[in-house]
Amino acid sequence: MANAPEVVRTASEVRAGVARARAQGKSVGLVPTLGALHEGHLTLMRRAREECEYVVVSIFVNPTQFAPGTDFERYPRDLEGDVEKAGTAGMDLVFAPGVEEMYPPGDSTFVEVTGPLVECLCGPHRPAHFRGVATVCAKLFDIVAADKAYFGEKDYQQLLVIAKMVRDLHLPVEIVPVPTVREPDGLALSSRNRYLSAEEREAAAVLYRALSEAKSRAEAGERDAAALVGAVREIIEAEPLVKLQYAELRDAKTLKTLGRLDRRAVLAAAAFVGKARLIDNVLVEAATSPSAPEV
Ligand code: AMP
């Protein structure tokens, strides 16, 4: 059994812990989370543990990434349980700051990625969300000064936004993507799955089922984006407990919209299931089969 991690509340305590690790020549990893840790988060932590000699997990329900009237207040919080789980994943330090530590009273500085990456998918539905995420990650990267930071592909757009911020600002951290961890029926693990009733939980699996079906059609040769997205819509809309918000096929790097599947793409969807807004995505490759010979 791993030792219990050190738990700290302030940036200066984190810097002191990291400085001690650096003095011993250790590499440093960071796993940023909102807490309510589940197997998805633990997979990120174990990956960080494998690749870095000192690993910090941050647990902070970041108010600036929640729109007013959404689930900031009721977002699940369980620091004690989280610290225990972080210990089982071999974390060295848990950084669990209060809001005033991350946002000193009177602060007025934000980091905002602009342009196509934030103007599609979740961007228009969650104004200021990515600004909040980029701002808190910039602060965490500065406080921890990690060599590598780990992000889940489940939040695919977030991953691209953070990677862009890191490039644009020359931040000295490597962003490591980690594949989505799923329940046996395919539902992506999410802290928000706790909001689901038993019936809703069962219905929620339709999200991945629909994305997987479209991916199979792409693998079988379907190239038309409207047909692929139409398949996702049709399957999700047949489930009365699930209200689709969007389903889209986009370039996996730039998130540019695609009429045809002619490159690596992401098929992404968001839907409300009861009180929970859930997102999911699958990566889809363009065909590698040779084109038919001209006759
Ligand atoms: P959150 O606490 O939901 O903000 O998630 C913290 C980190 O864990 C983010 O990088 C997420 O993308 C990642 N994450 C959340 N759920 C999963 C999952 N099911 N599989 C892989 N990574 C995940």
- Evaluate if residue 159 carries a pLDDT over 80: yes
Report pLDDT for 113.
98
pLDDT, tens digit (0-9, with 9 covering 90-100), for 10-38: 999 999 999 999 999 999 999 999 999 99
pLDDT, tens digit (0-9, with 9 covering 90-100), for 65-104: 999 999 999 999 999 999 999 999 999 999 999 999 999 9
- Evaluate if residue 290 carries a pLDDT over 70: no
Token pair recorded at residue 288: 């590698």
When pLDDT is cut at 50, 70 and 90, the band that residue 288 belongs to is: low
pTM, to two decimals: 0.96
Report pLDDT for 295.
47
Atom of ligand 1 nearest to the CA of 37: 2
- Evaluate if residue 291 carries a pLDDT over 70: no
Report pLDDT for 163.
98
- Distance from C-alpha of 46 to C-alpha of 91, rounded to nearest angstrom: 8
| Mutation test residue for ligand 1: of 34, 82, 154, the one with most atoms within 8 Å of CB | 154
How many other C-beta atoms are found inside a 10 Å radius of the C-beta of residue 272?
14
Pocket of ligand 1 (CB under 6 A): 33-34, 40-41, 43-44, 151-152, 154-155, 178, 180-181, 188-191
For atom 7 of ligand 1, the residue with the nearest CA is 33
- Evaluate if residue 221 carries a pLDDT over 80: yes
Report pLDDT for 210.
98
Contacts of residues 96-102 at CB distance under 8 Å and 24 or more positions apart, as own/partner, are 96/7, 96/8, 96/9, 96/35, 96/58, 96/59, 96/60, 97/9, 97/10, 97/11, 97/58, 97/60, 98/9, 99/63, 101/9, 101/10, 101/11, 102/60, 102/62, 102/136, 102/139
Report pLDDT for 3.
80
How many Å lie between the centroid of ligand 1 and the Cα of residue 260?
29
pLDDT, tens digit (0-9, with 9 covering 90-100), for 160-176: 999 999 999 999 999 99
Q: What is the set of active-site residues? A: 41
- Evaluate if residue 2 carries a pLDDT over 90: no
- For the chain, give the percent of residues with pLDDT over 90: 95
How many Å lie between the centroid of ligand 1 and the Cα of residue 136?
15
- Evaluate if residue 200 carries a pLDDT over 60: yes
pLDDT, tens digit (0-9, with 9 covering 90-100), for 121-130: 999 999 999 9
